[in-house]
Amino acid sequence: MVSARPSVVVLDYGSGNIHSAAKALEAAGADVEISADRGRVRDADGLLVPGVGAFGAVMAALKSVRGDELIDRRLAGGRPVLGICVGMQVMFERGDERGLLTEGLGEWPGTVTELDAPVLPHMGWNTVDAPSQSRLFEGLHDERFYFVHSYAARDWSLEVTNPKIPAPAVTWAEHGGRFVAAVENGPLSATQFHPEKSGEAGLRLLSNWLRTL
């Protein structure tokens, strides 16, 4: 008998929030495994890419387990991936941390830079502005989510010119100025905030993602 629960692999490359992310996914309704095994990553219904710390350190750790290749191959096959916090940031072309540029995964154009805010890090609960077509935020448009970061993508420049391809759903938040809080772009979704630290709202968001698998 096939399990009704989708299978999700949390990519194991040494990220600090890996176990809390796995527990939240289980609570949201997934069968979860923590692994960097190529076959398990390939075959899972969904792949979660966690991330805390510096952009450069996360990219180096991902490459150490060939995570960049694993993510790219899943996306090339239309297989769902969810990035969280720095796991979202590395989906962009590059990160700029105090003048140190690090190449990202390049799934989206743009550079992750320091927030222009009087208080950093941006830490705590904040509202988001999600588009009406968002599937991640279905039923969650008035909720708050938990952020811990000093860097973010502050612009969105990906343009979709093919009318047969849906435009990405980009969610924004404000801290000093606006920044990208979440993206839904085909098989690739990501949040700058931490769903696993966002209480009931975070679990419902993860459940919404699981339903897309």
**From CA 190, how far away is CA 125, in angstroms rounded?**
18
C-alpha separations of 153 from 98, 145, 176, 177, 205 in Å: 15, 17, 13, 11, 21
Q: Is 175 one of the catalytic residues?
A: no
Residue with tokens 């743009």: 110
Q: Is 85 one of the catalytic residues?
A: yes
Catalytic residue among 85, 143, 149, 175: 85
Q: Is 194 one of the catalytic residues?
A: yes
How big, in percent rounded to 5, are the helix, strand and coil portions of the chain? Answer: 25, 35, 40
CA angle 129, 93, 179 (to 5 degrees): 20
Q: In this structure, are residues 80 and 190 in contact, taking their beta carbons and an 8 Å threshold?
A: no
Q: Token pair of 193, please? A: 């905030």
C-alpha separations of 28 from 67, 157, 193 in Å: 24, 32, 17
Coil vs helix vs strand at 13: coil
Q: Token pair of 87, please? A: 């796991």
**From CA 191, how far away is CA 85, in angstroms rounded?**
6
Q: Which residues are catalytic?
A: 85, 194, 196
